[in-house]
Amino acid sequence: MNDIVLRLNNVETYYGKIHALRGISLEVHQGQIVTLLGSNGAGKSTTLKTISGLVQAYAGTIEFMGNDITREKPHVIVEMGLIHVPEGRRIFKDLTVEENLELGSFTLKDNKKRKERLEYVYELFPILKQRRRQSGGTLSGGEQQMLAIGRAMMVTPKLLLLDEPSMGLAPIIVQEIMKIIKRLNQDGITILLVEQNAKMALKLADYGYVLETGKIVMENCGSELKKNESIVKAYLGS
């Protein structure tokens, strides 16, 4: 049986005249955590945006669950079960925590299922249940990140794209977010992770790709990348 959830084949993306992705090819298999590593401007976030349809691929193909989604609209991609948690959280700050979460379940028609998913999110993030009547803008940075992930989990994603979930957070909160990512994966969610904290990402990841200026320059299982001297020097420190 083919267990490939996501496949990119020679994907090219432009921002105006800037050639952002230069022939990206990668695969994510069922049940994996796959991480994208690279310095700022390497093309990590652009890769996620291109997958989720927020940026249009200029060339190449993107397949999700065996379907070509290269030219698909973002809302159709969401309905197919590919959910993107963008960098910077992007919650609705004037809405309550619960209203933010309910927006994540817009594709669910079954009210019973919606309530079940809400309880699942509150079990994952008890602090969100405590804060459910507060507006999103009153939450701490860590709580806002939990809300962004919780909103994505209001459906059951077949693939979750996470873009820099630890950015700007205190180390103790980062540890908590990483535990949650591991728990989601154990609950059966396949994850493609962009993470500035390379050491943490490789601890979680089954497989990793290294991007430089829009190209994949290296790939291997997470444990092998952790041992690679050039990776250690560039991203993990001595």
Mean pLDDT computed over 71-85: 94
114 in a structural domain: no
> What is the number of domains present in the chain?
1
CA distances, 5 to each of 73, 126, 133 (Å): 18, 30, 36
Q: Indicate the range of 33-37, 38-42, 86-90, 150-154 predicted with least confidence.
A: 86-90
86 in a structural domain: no
Q: Which residues pair with 211 in a beta bridge?
A: 216
Mean pLDDT computed over 92-118: 89
207 in a structural domain: yes
What band does 237 get if pLDDT is binned at 50, 70 and 90?
low
The pLDDT tens digits for 155-175 are 889 999 999 998 888 888 889
47 in a structural domain: yes
68 in a structural domain: yes
pLDDT for the residue numbered 217: 92
SS (H, E, C) 19-74: EEEEEEEEEEECCCEEEEECCCCCCHHHHHHHHCCCCCCCEEEEEECCEECCCCCH
71 in a structural domain: yes
15 in a structural domain: yes
What band does 39 get if pLDDT is binned at 50, 70 and 90?
confident
pTM exceeding 0.75: yes
- CATH number, domain of 226, equals 3.40.50.300
22 in a structural domain: yes
Q: Indicate the range of 1-5, 94-98, 110-114 predicted with least confidence.
A: 1-5
Instruction: For residues 4 and 90, give the distance between their C-alpha atoms in angstroms, rounded to a whole number.
Output: 29
Give percent above pLDDT 90 in the chain.
Answer: 70
Instruction: For residues 143 and 149, give the distance between their C-alpha atoms in angstroms, rounded to a whole number.
Output: 10
Mean pLDDT computed over 186-205: 92
- Which domain does 201 fall in, by range? 1-81+159-165+190-238
